[in-house]
Structure 1
Amino acid sequence: MLRTDVLLAILVMAVVTFLCRVGGYAILRVVRPPPFLDAMLRNIPGPLFAAYVALALSRLGPASWLAALAVVATQWKTGNLGLSIIVGVAAVALLRPFIGG
């Protein structure tokens, strides 16, 4: 059964999200941010990703930590993101039965 109140809430949230994103782009097309803000906006994805990874790793065990090290080493040596992901998944799959986490 389709609930119109739930559908309406989802549609309103989608429109608000879209307007927030479009508003940011519209403002940055007209107003030039100061150099500090410009540098922050360009570089925030890396630290944000690192924070998510650090939080996830803090809740996992040694197998995940070693797999993360394998991913970093593979990415550093090869620069191949796909290979790094494969190495990380394989490392977790191989290490978990022996050392847990």
Structure 2
Amino acid sequence: MSTTFWIIVAGAVLTYLTRAGGHLVLSRFERIHPRVEAGLNAVPAAVLTTLVAPAAMEGGPAELAALATAAVIVLWGGGMMPMFLTAAAVLILLRHLLA
């Protein structure tokens, strides 16, 4: 089998072990300290920021239009799934048209 296949398998296994390990460690505590809980609650926003920031700083017109579309949908009170799907559709369409 190819090296790429084994890299994907190793990444999947390590991702699973990381998630399962975190769950096992936290399940041993009766109560989670408020600072730990606050840190864990901040993780999704931090991950989303690391994904969006490069596109905002270095993206072309397609990426910036997709970000603007996502912002408009959020400001209009749209949910997360409509935001992701609409922004992805805008990104794909504009990358196709502008290429």
TM-score (norm 2): 0.63
Contact 1:57/1:64 (<8 A) preserved: yes
Distance 1:60 1:35, change over 3 A: same
TM-score (norm 1): 0.62
Deviation at 1:94, TM superposition (A): 5.0
Q: Hey, what does 2:77 align to over in structure 1?
A: 78
Structure 1, gaps ≥5 residues long: none
Considering only CA atoms, is the larger Rg found in Structure 1 or Structure 2?
A: 1
Q: Hey, what does 2:50 align to over in structure 1?
A: 51
Q: For the residues of structure 1 that align with 2:41 and 2:33, how far apart are their CA atoms?
A: 12
Q: Would you identify which runs of 4 or more consecutive aligned residues in structure 1 move more than 3 Å?
A: 16-20, 89-92, 94-97
Q: How many residues align?
A: 92
Tell whether 2:22 aligns with 1:27: no
Deviation at 1:75, TM superposition (A): 2.1
CA RMSD of aligned residues (A): 3.4
Q: Deviations over 1:50-75 (max 9, x none)?
A: 22111133232133213211211112
Q: For the residues of structure 1 that align with 2:88 and 2:36, how far apart are their CA atoms?
A: 37
| Structure of higher RCO (CA pairs closer than 8 Å, 6+ residues apart) | 1
**Alignment identity in percent?**
23
Structure 2, gaps ≥5 residues long: none
